[in-house]
Structure 1
Amino acid sequence: MRTRTLLPAVLTVASLTLVGCGGDGDSGAPASTSSPSSAKATASEGGGSAEVPEALRFTGTTVDGKPFDGASLAGRPTVLWFWAPWCPKCRAQAAETAKVAEEYAGKANVVGVAGLDGNDAMRDFVDQTGTGSFPHLSDEDGTVWKRFEVTEQSRYVILDKDGETVYEGVLPGGEGLSGKVAGLTG
């Protein structure tokens, strides 16, 4: 009887572990926006006010130990790049993601969301990959990953300027990321 009780839990853990560095496939379909919801609040920023969608109502700490407020992303398209420091597919996405962050600076946000390891390894990854030009959250407890229903690393969640999810999936080597962002900043 005990085996029957433990089997579903073991299978769930095994399936998450086997995900590895994400699938090679690209679902291409927009992710569900039911969680986080699209409800909005108003926040003041720089003397003005901006609508803050529910999706961006989160806080965290960067890998450098600085506080981060998701509300600061409101009003611009946003790329959330979910990565793990030991993931070779994430490492392969780093250069293209940094290039997109530089190319669309001031027009779109790019934020790395590191998980599945400790903060020291996350900082080392940022240093080694040259991706320090944009913020990276240290999501050791998986709060932001859960918020966006991300279950594997090397995954992108792209939000439009209103905070609606327009893409969720894997982009091997970051291929196609620039085009997706260009379509939102157009």
Structure 2
Amino acid sequence: MTDPTSSQPSRLGRRTFLRAAMLAAAALPLAACVGEEDPLAKQAREGNNKNYIAGDGSVQEYGPKSRTEPVEINATAYDGSKIDSADWAGQVTVLNFWYAACAPCRIEAPHMVELSDEFKGKAEFIGINVRDEKDAAEAFERTFGIKYPSVQDTQGAIQLAMTKYVPLQAVPTTLVLDRQGRVSARILGVAEKPTLKALINTALTESL
């Protein structure tokens, strides 16, 4: 008969390997080279699901009658600016949950930058960083030219609060909030530019 404890060392070995891999990925330099694909982004495209909770890019839209109450967030961004959901009334808001060593986050970062510029004055973009301290987060933002603010949520307070609205389930997750501050759409995994753009436009064209 097989000893039921015989698999424990291999499990421990796998856990040790995964932890080491995550720490190594977090230490990778964030500088991007023109014409050279980011190594973590390449890893995500290979589909091996390393260093992040994988999302499949699935989109969930919520009709006005099925939406929960408005999302409430009150925090301070890395740049010192105050983030208060009370200020979002009447505008569409995009919340992007990310961290620097997350390969799919790096794939979608240019899309976020382009769309935040395209919808400037119409939709507010806010990042929620689930893992990084200030230096790592700001290095990522410099690498990809991100100008919109991000909030540190390494303790998970915002992520926990979001469970009463919609489950996040993956990193990255992107939420589109309607002009009443309610979640109108969720993307699990990489937010492709055409998809996110369409979701924002839908939220913008809805009547209050």
Fold match by TM threshold 0.5? yes
Instruction: Please point out which of 161, 164, 167 is paired with 2:182.
Output: 164
Name the counterpart of 1:130: 145
Letter in 1 for 2:170: E
Return the letter of the residue paired with 2:59.
G
Residues 98 and 131 in structure 1, CA contact (< 8 A), matched pair in contact too: yes
- In the alignment, structure 1 segments of 5+ residues that lack a partner are 1-13, 39-52
TM-superposed CA distance for 1:156, in Å, is 0.4
Query: Corresponding residue for 2:110?
Result: 95
For residue 20 of structure 1, report the CA deviation from its aligned partner: 4.2
Larger Rg computed on CA atoms = 2
Residues 37, 166 of structure 1: alpha-carbon distance in 2 compared, 3 angstrom cutoff: closer
Q: Is the 2:169–2:188 contact (alpha carbons within 8 Å) kept by the matching residues of 1?
A: no
TM-score computed with the length of structure 1 as normaliser = 0.71
Q: Corresponding residue for 1:76?
A: 91
Identity of paired residues, percent? 23
Q: How does 1:169-180 map to 2 (within 5 A)?
A: 169-170=187-188, 172=190, 174-175=192-193, 176-180=195-199
Paired letter, 2:76: T
1:181 alignment partner in structure 2: 200
Q: Determine which structure has the larger strand proportion and give its number.
A: 1
Cα separation, partners in 2 of 1:32 and 1:59, compared to 1, 3 Å? farther
Match for residue 159 of structure 2? 145
Q: CA RMSD in A?
A: 2.8
Residue 52 of structure 2 aligns to a residue in which SS? coil
* Residue among 86, 93, 113 paired with 2:128: 113
Query: How many pairs were matched up?
Result: 153
Cα deviation per residue 1:9-39 (whole Å; 9 max; x = unaligned)? xxxxx8xx98843434233224799xx951x
1:130-171 alpha-carbon deviations (Å, 9 max, x no partner): 112x11112222222222233432110111111221111225
| Structure 2 residues without counterparts, runs of 5 or longer | 1-14, 16-21, 23-48
Secondary structure at the counterpart of residue 172 of structure 1: coil
